[in-house]
A and B are shown apart, each in its own frame.
Chain A
Amino acid sequence: MILETKDLKKYFPVTKSFIERLFTREMKYVKAIDGVSIDVRKGEILSLVGESGSGKTTLGKLVLRLIDPTDGRIIFDGRDITYLKGEELRRLRRHMQIIYQDPYASLNPRMKIGESIKDPLIIHNIASDQEAYKMVLNMLEKVGLTPSEHFYGLYPRSLSGGQRQRVAIARAMITNPKFVVADEPVSMIDVSLRASILDLMLRFKHDLHLSYLFITHDLAVSKYISDRIAVMYLAKIVELGDVYSIFKKPLHPYTQALISAIPVPYPRREKKLSLSGEIPSGIDIPPGCRFHPRCPFKMNICSEEEPTLRRIEEGHYVACFLHQ
C-alpha cells in the first residue's frame, strides 16, 4: 500500500455577504470531499472517475497535502502524513508528484524547460549542477523531446501542448517518485496524441515501479490505463473495483450511466441509460443517497438513508441500496 486515506473530508467555508452575516451565525460549507477512504497499492494505477464538480481534483491535492484536510487521515508509504508540516513535508515531496491538467499553465513561463525539470533535483539536493544537467538531458530523451540539448534551452511558449505535457511529466519523474497524481493529464491534449502520452506514463510506471492516482472524467481513458477504478459522485466514492469487473458488471446506476455514455464503434439500438439534470452543488447535498434525485431506479429508502460502501464480491465495492 503506497497511499491510503481514511474517511477523508474537505469542507470549504462559503464566504457570506455582509447582510447574510448580520442575520445568521451559521457557517455554510461546500463539501468537496465528504468521507473518502481509498487505497492505492504499490505499482498500481487507480483511476478516479467522475463528473466535473465531483471533487476529484480536490482529492488529488489533498493526498499530496497541497491543501489541508478538514478531517480524516492520509497514510503515505506507511506513514501518517495528515498533519505533517514545514520542512518534513517539503522533503517528502520528492516521493510524491503531480501532473496537471493544463500544460499551458503548469510551467513557469519565465523558466527554460530544462531548468524547470532540473529544479526538483536542486531543491532536494539530489545532484550537483553538472550531474543534474546530464540527468535532465537524459530525461528529455526519455520523454521524447530530442535533440535534448536544443529543448533544454527553450521556453514553454515555443512548445506545443503535447510537448509541454511531456515536460511536465519529465519534471514529475526526475526525482524517481513513488507516487504520482495525474490530474486529467490528457484531457487538454489533442486526441491524436493522447495515446502516446498515456503510453509514456505507463512506461514510467514500469521503469520506476511507481503508483498513480489517475484522475479523469473519461471512462475510456481509465479503461485503457488503470488497474482499478473508483467512481466518485458528489464528494463520495460510489463504486470501487478492478477494471474488469467495473466494465463487465457495473453495479451502481451512476457507473452504468457513465459506461453507456462511452461512444462505441458500432452502436446498436439498445436502450441507453442516460441521466437527466446536473450534479448538485456541494453546499446542498441531497439527503439520503446523494445520487437519488437523478437515479432512474430510485426507491423510497434512497431519500431517507445514506448507503455505505459495501463489498459485493472480491475487490468490488458499491454504495447502493439495489445491492444490499
Chain B
Amino acid sequence: MRTTDLIPREFWRKIRDAGIDGYMVIVGLMIVITAVILALFAEFIAPYDPIQRVGPPVSPPSTQYLLGTDSIGRDVLSRLIYGTRTIMIVILISTVLSMSVGIPLGLISGYIGGKLDRLLSLIMDSIYAFPGLILAIAVAAVLGPGIYNTSISLAVVYIPTYFRMIRGHVLSLRETIFVEAARAIGAKDRRIMLKYILPNTLFIITVVFSLNVADAVLTEAGLSFLGLSVASPTPDWGFDLKNGQRYFLSGYWWPVTFPGIAIFLLALGFGLLGEGLNTILGKEEI
C-alpha cells in the first residue's frame, strides 16, 4: 500500500480549505515535526553533552550558553534537545502499546458484542474512571523508574480511550449496509473486521491518537516531576522542571522556564493537531 492511500491528496486539499482548523493542523504539525527532528538528530543539534558539567552553575543565558546552565553547570538547551528524545521515545512506546491493546480489543468487543463486550467494557470503564495522572502514578510507583516502565504506565492510562472510541464506532459500523453486504458475499468475521470495519475507523484512531498524545506529554512531565519517570541524569523535561524550580525564588529563572515552555509547546502542538483533525475529518466522515 502506498502512503498516498493513507494520506490522500484530497486530505491536503481539505486542510487547505478548512480555514482556522487547517491552520491549527499545520501549526501543530510544524511543532511536532520540529520535535521529531530534534529527537532524531539530538547529537548533531545540541551544542553540549547534556549530562556533563560544561560551565559554571546557573550562569544566565548568553551567547556561550544560549539558555543558560542549570544548578550543576549543565547546558539547559542541550538538556532540552536531548529531553525531546526521552519524551518522544516514551510517547512512541506508550502509544504503540495502548494502540495495540486498545484497538484490537475495541474492534472485537464492538463486533462480537454479548458477554465478552460487557466484561471488557466494565474493565475499561473502571480504568477510565481513574484520573489519568493518579493512575499513572500508581502504576509507575509499582513498576519503578525507567523509560519502559514509564511508557507502560502511560499506556495503561490511554488504553481505555482507544478501546471506547473504537468500540463505539464499530457498533455503528457493524449495522451499516456495506458490512451486511460483506456478510452477504460470504466474508468471514475476521475479514469483515480487518478489511471492512478497521479501515473505516482510521480517522477516529488518528484523532484519538493526537489528543491522547497531547495529554500524555503532560502526564509524562507530571510523572518525572514527581521523580517517578526516568532516572537522573537522563535529560528529561519534567525532571529538569523540578530541579529548576528550587532556584526560581533565588532569581535563577532559566532552568525552570525553558523546560516549562518546551512541555507547553509540545502539548500545544499535539493538541492543535488533534483538535484540527477532529473537526476536519469528523465533518467528512460522519
Contact = CB atoms under 8 A, between A and B. Distances in A.
Chain B interface residue bracket vs A: 10 to 19
A64 B184 contact: yes
B195 interface: yes
B225 interface: no
B188 A90 contact: yes
B182 interface: yes
Contacts of B191: 123
Interface in A13-41: none
A110 B199 contact: yes
Nearest to B184: A98
Interface stretch (B87-95, B156-164, B172-180, B242-250): B172-180
B186 A90 contact: yes
A120 B191 CA distance: 11
A123 B200 CA distance: 20
A111 B185 contact: no
Interface string B188-227: 1001000110011010000000000000000000000000
Contacts of B182: 108, 119
A264 interface: no
B186 A106 contact: no
Contacts of B199: 108, 110-111
Contacts of A119: 182, 185, 187, 195
Given A64-B184, A66-B183, A91-B186, A108 B177 contact: no
B19 to A, nearest CB: 22
B200 A108 contact: yes
Contacts of A120: 185-186
A111 B195 contact: yes
B283 to A, nearest CB: 15
A102 B181 CA distance: 11
Given A108-B196, A108-B200, A110-B200, A100 B185 contact: no
A165 to B, nearest CB: 13
B178 A106 contact: yes
A109 interface: yes
Interface in A108-152: 108-111, 119-120, 123-124
B185 A171 contact: yes
A100 B181 contact: yes
Contacts of A209: none
A102 B177 contact: yes
B202 A110 contact: yes
Contacts of B185: 93-94, 97, 119-120, 123, 171, 175
A256 B5 CA distance: 54
Scoring A64, A100, A108 by chain B CB atoms within 10 A of each residue's CB, the highest score goes to A108
Contacts of B196: 108, 111
A102 B202 CA distance: 24
B184 A105 contact: no
A100 B186 contact: no
A107 interface: yes
B184 A66 contact: yes
Nearest to B181: A106
B273 to A, nearest CB: 22
Interface string B128-159: 00000000000000000000000000000000
Contacts of B178: 105-109
Contacts of B200: 108-110
B195 A106 contact: no
Nearest to A181: B184
A66 B195 CA distance: 19
Scoring A97, A105, A119, A124 by chain B CB atoms within 10 A of each residue's CB, the highest score goes to A119
A105 B176 contact: yes
Interface string A162-173: 000000100100
A171 B196 CA distance: 15
A52 B182 CA distance: 25
Interface string B44-88: 000000000000000000000000000000000000000000000
Contacts of A92: 186
Contacts of A124: 186
B186 A93 contact: yes
A171 B182 CA distance: 10
A137 to B, nearest CB: 19
A187 to B, nearest CB: 14
A276 to B, nearest CB: 33
A120 B181 CA distance: 11
A246 B184 CA distance: 32
B176 A97 contact: no
Contacts of A93: 184-186
Interface of B: 176-178, 180-188, 191, 195-196, 199-200, 202
Given A64-B184, A119-B185, 14 more contacts: A66-B184, A90-B188, A91-B186, A93-B186, A94-B186, A98-B181, A100-B181, A102-B177, A105-B177, A107-B178, A108-B182, A110-B199, A110-B202, A171-B185
11 contacts: A93-B185, A97-B184, A98-B184, A100-B177, A100-B181, A105-B176, A105-B178, A109-B200, A120-B185, A123-B185, A124-B186
Interface of A: 64, 66, 90-94, 97-98, 100, 102, 105-111, 119-120, 123-124, 168, 171, 175
Q: Which 7 A-B pairs have the closest CB atoms?
A: A93-B186, A110-B199, A105-B177, A120-B185, A108-B178, A90-B186, A106-B177
